[in-house]
Amino acid sequence: MKLNELRDNPGATKRKQRIARGPGSGRGKMGGRGIKGQKSRSGVAINGYEGGQMPLYQRLPKRGFTKPNRLSYAVVNLGLIQKFVDAGKLDAGNITEETLVTSGLVRRKLDGIRVLAKGETTGALTITVTGASKSAVEAVEKAGGKLTTAAAE
């Protein structure tokens, strides 16, 4: 066998169907798209439609539950609070939800502000917020400060 004698097996390759190339092709005129309508136009796919078969998003089971009265908190990290205190935008002795909003650290209060422990605190901070993680409370108290939450009161 030589390189010039290599061939595909018979029936392994098939010629491409040339659509919309005249009546002799068997797929001329409308190119197999039918007459008029959205589906006969180019660049249109009907999302989620599977040709009358039950679509995937309807075949899958519904799971879970969305609580209608769920509270959403604005989240702040300790490291950012410390950064604002160092920059002089916040008073370390009196940090409340209102001062956090006016300083620009938090855009909106939402249902309250929750403090998380990411970052380091160097000075003693006195913080009064709606909620805080246990590790955030420990980190503030370790630095000699005080973190009070609405839940604790």
The structural domains of the chain, with segments of one domain joined by +, span 74-149
Give the integer Cα–Cα distance in Å for 125 and 92: 5
CB distance 75 to 116 below 8 Å: yes
Give the integer Cα–Cα distance in Å for 131 and 70: 15
Kindly report which listed range (22-26, 41-45, 96-100, 116-120) carries the lowest average pLDDT score.
Answer: 41-45
Which pLDDT tens digit goes with each residue over 43-95? 888 888 888 999 999 999 999 998 999 999 999 999 999 998 898 888 888 88
Class of domain 74-149: alpha beta
Q: How confident is the model at residue 125, as a pLDDT?
A: 86
